[in-house]
Chain A
Amino acid sequence: MKRRKLIRFLFHFVFLVLTLAWVYPLIWTVSSSLKTNREMFSGSVKLFPDKFEWSFLLPSNWGQLEEILQFDNYSRAWYIANFSQYFINTLLFTFAVVIIVITLCALTGYVLGRYDFPGKFLIMGAIIATMFIPAGYTIIPLWQLINALGLGKSMAGLVLAEAGGTHVLYILLFTAFFSRIPKELEEASQIDGAGFVRTFFTIMLPLAKPVIATTFILQFINSWNSFFVPLVFTIHRPDLRTLGVGMYSFVEDNSSDLAAMAAGATISFIPIVVIFLIFQKYFVDGIAGSVKG
């Protein structure tokens, strides 16, 4: 019995070390963002700055800690390398995309899940078919289209390009959810005199909160991390770049400033990690739902 306990303890220990190694690149990034460039080039694996001593962690010694930590890296990244601009762009871009996607998919999913009408199968089929049609290089016509709309050099164009596609997974999630709501609810609201639109907004949409939350978090992470569309659409507009693209161009321009790079990466990571930790449940549900459904 005792041996079993020991094995179990050992197993937990090994598993913990393994998982910590798993997230080491993240820890490394944060710790590097507080080091000097010289330290990073010579022995970048160490977690703490060279001059660090454990005693610095005592509250009375925080002054010393402040001295050796290079918060300057953050101000270089934030002000000089334009991460402030990238950060705002990413927030705007992400929220705009998420709102458009949720609205679109909720409307579509509601109608497809609850009503019969001519052409329903055609629409359903067309949506699902997009998953399987081999496309050529669609970014080129998309780029043409956005330019033809006169949005080629604006955040609106960037948002449309990202949000405009067909989001099959979310549509299916909404469709499945709405089709499961009992008919009685709807009839009751009709007896109260609510029309099609009011039923949707006052009865149905509030019920769909879990699906909305799932769509929100999945799309939020997707858009925050989006790289290809922003890369192509901001080739001519550095001031519209999002964090992912901004980081890439920063490294192309300044790759000798590794410490500011790490600070920039940390700035990009923290919000998405926080959002993930908050909404973790919905996220996991959404992903699990996509594989079960």
Chain B
Amino acid sequence: MKRRSKIFGVIMILFMLVLAGCQNESSSTEAGSGKSEEKEVTIKLFSAHGQFRNGQYGYERIQEFMKKHPNIKVEVTYAHGKNWDDTFLALASSNELPDIIQPTGNFLIGDLVQNGWVQPLDAHFDIKDRFPNEVFVEGVNMLDGKIYSYPRISPKSGSFMLYHTDLMEEAGLDPASPPKNWDELLEMGKQVTEKVDGVYGFAIPLKDSAAAHTLLLARTLQPTLDGEGFDFQKGRYDLDSENVVKAIEFLLKMKDAGIVHPNSPTLGLLDYQGLFANKQAAFGFNAQWIVRVNQHELGGVEDYNVAEIPVLKEGDRLYQGVVPGTYDAYLTKSTKHPKEAAELLKWLTSKEDYYVGQMKKDLLLPPHPDLIQDESNYSSEQLKKMAQILEDTVVYRPVYESNPGAFEAKKIEKTMAPPRLQLNDIIIGAYIGEMKDWKKELTKLNDALNTRLDEAIKKAAAEGQDVSRDDLTFPNFDGKSNYNQ
């Protein structure tokens, strides 16, 4: 009996080993069969974007690319967020950078160029002709007039309210008219909570997005505020403004009314997306890629729609300030096959071979206005509505990044230790009732952030940069219309 169980254990482990081995083997034979007359070249791509994950749209397109170019083999590696950052730094420090990188938001063009990690694209192919001219922005994807990267997703991006039409119907509400203002959100949330069993009116991922979601509410009142609480008109952080206070108070009001999903304090953004997709709450906020996530990563969510973020009173509206360009892939300086890598980048920046499919199949808006305007490219109602809202409410904010001094100061600011108690913590503290004087903490945090920025500016100036607070202050920017110098 004993011996038998031992044998069973050994067999089990062997079995799992074989299974694991099988996978490796199959991938190695694949590599072997790709041999052709031409010399095979391997291009490594390291991506931080879910689109390039095993089985997703970008990944599929790359398989297609390999079929068309049998001499080029592309190895795609995906890592998420901090994992990407850490791995990238390790690779960089040991001079093993892949040929093409798609970094997270933590690596800006200045760092990448200064460290000698990346090289301009325009030396290798006609990158400039592939996009509308406005998407190339100095300090974002261009430096000293040279193009280093390009946008994959439309620069006009922003956040929305999502709502489940079927849950509204079940609660006796009209799904054609979702809540437009805070009072309606509260009222309808109450209805859903009362009438639909086990479902709550509202959910919010407090664990990692308390600040971002609350600021969305505050920004309907103060359009010059950005997603981190920096006011471009005033040129300083404004986290203790009455508008932020009002937004937090409204969140507390919803909580006290019992309409916020009780798991909210422990929800991260990803948990929240899962919870929302599985219809545990009727209303919630999210950004535009949620349409894609709902469709491809959460198994096809049905009966939901999008609307603008509710406002306090008539006349308010959430305007979202963006930079007219974004960045995506970079070609590394150390690549040994720039020609083949450029070939791949041409494929990834092709309207026909990539962007149309991205919009139709992967439900992400491309950086081409003509594609966005073409009705035939929409396979999702939600995406169409979203594109309309973005068209109406996204404005171009001042691009301080183009000013080297301001850019350097902001970069230094990011490397300095952040205040211990961050906006997220304060909102959670207020929400769970453990921080009675949260308004005082807001002021403390705001002062600390402004002091930190001042110090960063001083440090940048000490490095010889010509920079002051004025370079981050834009009195003419009203947040509701594009900024013109």
Contact = CB atoms under 8 A, between A and B. Distances in A.
Contacts of B13: 91, 271, 274
A254 interface: yes
Interface string B206-231: 00000000000000000000000000
A249 B271 CA distance: 14
A255 interface: yes
Contacts of B55: 80
Contacts of A131: none
A37 B274 contact: yes
Given A256-B270, A256-B277, A153 B19 contact: no
A254 B16 CA distance: 24
A203 to B, nearest CB: 27
Interface string B99-135: 0000000000000000000000000000000000000
B152 to A, nearest CB: 20
A87 B81 CA distance: 23
Interface residues of B, number: 38
A201 B362 CA distance: 64
A16 interface: no
A84 B26 CA distance: 13
A230 B468 CA distance: 45
Contact of B80 (A78, A252, A274): A252
A60 interface: no
Interface string A73-102: 000001110001101100100000000000
Given A252-B80, A256-B270, A235 B86 contact: yes
A256 B271 contact: yes
Given A80-B54, A87-B20, A253-B81, A270 B12 contact: yes
Interface residues of A, number: 32
Contacts of A85: 20
B430 interface: no
A238 interface: yes
A255 B94 CA distance: 32
Given A80-B54, A255-B271, A256-B298, A153 B94 contact: yes
Contacts of B5: 277-278
B83 A37 contact: no
17 contacts: A38-B299, A41-B274, A41-B275, A42-B198, A235-B86, A236-B86, A236-B87, A237-B90, A238-B79, A238-B83, A256-B275, A256-B277, A257-B274, A258-B274, A274-B8, A278-B5, A278-B6
Interface of A: 37-38, 41-42, 78-80, 84-85, 87-88, 91, 153, 235-238, 249, 252-258, 267, 270-271, 274-275, 277-278
**4 shortest A-B CB distances, which residue pairs?**
A256-B274, A236-B90, A41-B278, A253-B80
